[in-house]
Amino acid sequence: MKIVDPTFEILDEYFTSERVLEQIELAGRICYKSEDKITEDSAGPFIKRIIERGHESVLEMGNFVFDIEVDSENIMHKFLEKNPRFNQIDKIEKKHFLISGNPRSFRDLARICPEQKIVKALLGHLTDEFPVLYEDLRPRHGWLMPDGVAVRRLRPKEIETLPLDLFIRHRTVLVKLVINRAVSHELVRHRPASYLQESQRYCRYGEARFGGEVHYIRPCFFKEGTPEFELWKRAMEEAEVAYLSLLKTSSPQAARTVLPNSCKTEIMVNATLSEWAHILRLRTSPAADPSMREIMLMLLPQMVKRFPKVFGPIEEALGLSQ
Ligand SMILES: Cc1cc2nc3c(=O)[nH]c(=O)nc-3n(C[C@H](O)[C@H](O)[C@H](O)COP(=O)(O)OP(=O)(O)OC[C@H]3O[C@@H](n4cnc5c(N)ncnc54)[C@H](O)[C@@H]3O)c2cc1C
């Protein structure tokens, strides 16, 4: 067995350099721990296979923001009647709107209300720009550009200049966390975010690529050298022995039933700044689980560094700002 510390990585450079396909592939491969298969041109074929398999949550690992102008507000009202619940929509001024969402949310719009002018305009644009994400949904004669709607995808630099209230609702950040399974279970309770997680069903920790051993997160509760730590360590060793023995005759999904909460997992979290602020506020509070608080207190200063106006007040409220 191997004991590792909790860590995180803010994967924002994919957003700022507009490498959405690469971001989706990197995040998607965490499930299978097959990041070593990433090459310069592997993103397209990877995404195609994901779509064929219907594993569309992988397509939540990106974000598009559109500026929309309509000739008549009625066009937007008709669209809103369809209840597009996985998109953020804001009115900037009369006949002028902002709509954002992950790539999957726009695929759902194509299925749920393809007759809507706004959907036709959005999907026409997206299919031209990112065919691998949308070409399977293209109507027989293509998305006919409707009258009365103009859509324009905002570039990262334009998103950065949005007023703060719009910026926090439309700007997303992808973070990779290496934490234990109890903490990941708490994290995924935050609903307006998207997740992809290392799968104990697909990963066989007995294999050489995992070092043939189970990885555990160092518990923040027990100091090394204390009787409590030794007891914890023994329990982990015994769980590993049972797991590796079961793997000789059973599948990883069967063997994993003996793995404990301390097991290391890797999880990708893609969320708007507004949801990250909610998560960080709740999970850095002294009331939070200490293991969760430990990683969130590590993440908070890095988020403050990147987005001081959004996360600075959380740090201040905790009395941590310098
Ligand atoms: C200290 C602490 C102790 C906890 N103890 C327990 C426990 O004992 N048992 C337990 O089951 N959970 C527990 N939780 C988890 C907690 O109940 C929430 O599920 C979790 O924190 C997600 O946060 P949230 O519901 O505020 O918001 P999120 O899921 O992050 O959603 C963000 C916001 O979106 C809105 N929203 C999202 N989905 C809905 C919806 N379906 N309906 C209405 N509004 C919605 C709300 O405005 C919400 O504030 C605990 C959490 C903390 C921090």
For atom 39 of ligand 1, which residue has the closest CA? 191
- Secondary structure (3-state) at 5: coil
- The token duo for 157 is 């630099």
Tell how far the Cα of 237 is from the centroid of ligand 1, in angstroms: 34
Q: Which of 167, 113, 168, 130 is nearest to 281 (CA)?
A: 168
Q: What is the pTM of this model?
A: 0.96
Domains and CATH numbers, the chain: 2-56+171-308 (3.30.1360.170), 64-162 (no CATH)
Give percent of the chain above pLDDT 70: 100
- 10-residue mean pLDDT series, the chain (322 residues): 98 93 97 92 97 97 98 96 95 96 98 97 98 97 94 97 98 98 98 96 93 97 97 98 98 97 98 98 97 98 98 94 70
Tell how far the Cα of 19 is from the centroid of ligand 1, in angstroms: 32
CB 264 within 8 A of CB 215: yes
Question: Choosing from 189, 283, 293, 306, which is the catalytic residue?
Answer: 283
- The token duo for 104 is 């999957």
How many secondary structure helices (H) and strands (E) does the chain include? 15, 10
pLDDT digits (tens, 9 = 90+) for 210-249: 999 999 999 999 999 999 999 999 999 999 999 999 999 9
For atom 9 of ligand 1, which residue has the closest CA? 186
Q: Is 283 a catalytic residue?
A: yes
Q: What is the pLDDT of residue 224?
A: 96
Tell how far the Cα of 54 is from the centroid of ligand 1, in angstroms: 28
Spatial distance between the Cα atoms of 239 and 233, rounded to a whole number of angstroms: 10
